[in-house]
Amino acid sequence: MKTYYLSLAMLALVACNQKAKKQDDTTVPADTVTVAMKASVSKEKFGTLPDGKEVDRYTLTNANGISMKVMTYGGIITSLQTPDKNGEQGDIVLGFDSLEGYLQKGVPYFGAVIGRYGNRIAKGKFELDGKTYTLATNDGPNHLHGGKKGFDKVVWTASEKKTDHGVALQLEYLSKDMEEGYPGNLKATVTYTLTDDNELQVDYQATTDKKTVVNLTQHSYFNLAPGTATILDHEVTLHADAFLPVSNTLIPTGELRPVEGTPFDFRKGKKVGQDIGQEDQQLEYGGGFDHCWVLNGAGEGLEKAASLYDASTGRLMEVFTTEPAIQFYSGNFLDGSLTGKNGEKYVHRSGLCLETEHYPDAPNQPDFPSTVLNPGEEYHTTTVFRFSVK
Ligand code: GLA
């Protein structure tokens, strides 16, 4: 397939969404002739933070015209354009047109890299080698997504990379010892690669100089039918036989509960809205789906974790990961108070997140896969989002 695209590119075919001319001079729509262009990366100034730091925004475009914009603040994906079944490009992530949009109070991690610890740590406390570390309690009684100023609110150092399978942007951030209460200087690198196979590959790497905990993820809110108010008609498939029930403050109880016979069974794929309204204590606690599913392929390498499909546009997004779990959050806290791109009001459940990760509260739950990183070790996880239509 790659060679096919490349040779088409060498024949100097025209850019996506334009009309392509056949040799006999009859004009045909671009989507009936496979059209290729060169993958590229460009950079622009996006804005300035209140402390004077400049924020850049990069645009990555692949050979098939899929493009994404990423800013250095929070490593935030501000837009992701993919074609629908008619070849029409659409932006499938929630977000804002300007930096100021993202700096408003109460923006719930739109598109951001999450760290040092994605998801919750009970009561903002954990122990390592007999020492208790205290973190911000920024989600009721618990710690959420790295604290008050997590990796979503810092400026990353960006560099463009060309790889043999796509264009990439590497983001680096040094989280200092005791920043947000976490021990160890943590060097974190997140690399977004947009491949010519229509995949967004996210590689997370980290090293530390003191024993610490790490759980990095990506917090994009997807709506595969841009302009449609909710994601309730999106079909979700989760390759998970079990999920983690939570307390009323969304901390896992420690139980791995089979999904069989519960509203949490997404193994065969179903619409988000199908069972979300059922009477169920777990749905009540989450205000909908806001839970961590234990992936069947955990520990086996880059395995299929989930897929998201919207029949109205034909867009399909498949998620592969090396992580053992995935948080599926159905956008329950969105309440219409934020107005995003194209003047759209982000109403209840107007986007959903699929956050690949280790289990929430693992630092306090010895039976969960460990999130401890020791000096001399390298943290490396990979998640791939593959875009197509069907
Ligand atoms: C995560 C959490 C949710 C919520 C969102 C942000 O996905 O699990 O409970 O906090 O982030 O609003």
pLDDT band at 165 (very low <50, low <70, confident <90, very high): confident
pLDDT at 281 over 50: yes
Question: What separation in Å is there between the alpha carbon of 54 and the centre of ligand 1?
Answer: 28
Question: What separation in Å is there between the alpha carbon of 246 and the centre of ligand 1?
Answer: 13
Give the residue among 59, 52, 57 at the shortest CA–CA distance from 156. Answer: 57
Ligand 1: does its nearest atom lie under 6 Å from the Cβ of 353?
yes
Within a domain: 13? no
Give the residue among 318, 307, 304, 311 at the shortest CA–CA distance from 386. Answer: 318
Within a domain: 260? yes
**Environment class of 348 (CB within 10 Å of its CB; exposed 0-12, middle 13-18, buried 19+):** middle
Tokens found for residue 107:
């923006």
pLDDT at 22 over 90: no
DSSP state for residue 358 in the 8-state scheme: S
Question: What separation in Å is there between the alpha carbon of 312 and the centre of ligand 1?
Answer: 27
Within a domain: 137? yes
Q: How far apart are CA 66 and CA 59, in angstroms?
A: 10
Q: Which whole-number Å values give the CA distances from 284 to 60, 144, 245, 310, in the listed order?
A: 40, 20, 11, 26
Neighbours of 342 (CB within 10 A): 9
Q: How far apart are CA 251 and CA 118, in angstroms?
A: 13
Residues ≥6 apart with Cβ < 8 Å to 213? 116, 117, 126, 128, 182, 362, 363, 371, 372, 373
- The length of the chain in residues reads 390
Within a domain: 32? no
Ligand 1: does its nearest atom lie under 6 Å from the Cβ of 107?
no
Number of domains present in the structure of the chain: 1
Question: What separation in Å is there between the alpha carbon of 96 and the centre of ligand 1?
Answer: 18
Within a domain: 3? no
pLDDT in tens, 137-150: 999 999 999 999 99
pLDDT at 33: 42
Within a domain: 29? no
Section 100-124 average pLDDT = 98
Average pLDDT of the chain is 92
Strands 353-357 and 325-329: antiparallel
Ligand 1: does its nearest atom lie under 6 Å from the Cβ of 109?
yes
Locate the ligand 1 atom nearest the alpha carbon of residue 353 and give its number: 7
Ligand 1: does its nearest atom lie under 6 Å from the Cβ of 182?
no
Residues 323, 304: contact at Cβ < 8 Å? no
Q: Which whole-number Å values give the CA distances from 349 to 93, 263, 298, 331, in the listed order?
A: 13, 17, 28, 4
Tokens found for residue 390:
């069907």
CATH of the domain at 98: 2.70.98.10
Q: How far apart are CA 117 and CA 144, in angstroms?
A: 8
Residues 331, 352: contact at Cβ < 8 Å? yes
pLDDT at 9 over 50: no
Residues 106, 279: contact at Cβ < 8 Å? no
Ligand 1: does its nearest atom lie under 6 Å from the Cβ of 329?
yes
Within a domain: 18? no
Residue range of the domain that includes 219? 40-389
Give the residue among 113, 96, 116, 86 at the shortest CA–CA distance from 17. Answer: 86
pLDDT in tens, 322-361: 999 999 999 999 999 999 999 999 999 999 999 999 999 9
pLDDT band at 30 (very low <50, low <70, confident <90, very high): very low
| Ligand 1: residue whose CA is nearest its atom 5 | 108
pLDDT at 205 over 90: yes
* pTM attached to this predicted model: 0.91
Paired with 290 in beta bridges are 329
pLDDT band at 36 (very low <50, low <70, confident <90, very high): low
Within a domain: 185? yes
pLDDT at 3: 34
pLDDT in tens, 285-297: 999 999 999 999 9
B/e letters for 47-79, b = 16+ CB within 10 Å, e = fewer, are: beeeeeeebbbbbbbbbbbbbbbbbbbbbbbbb
Active-site amino acid positions: 219, 355
Ligand 1: does its nearest atom lie under 6 Å from the Cβ of 140?
no
Question: What separation in Å is there between the alpha carbon of 306 and the centre of ligand 1?
Answer: 18
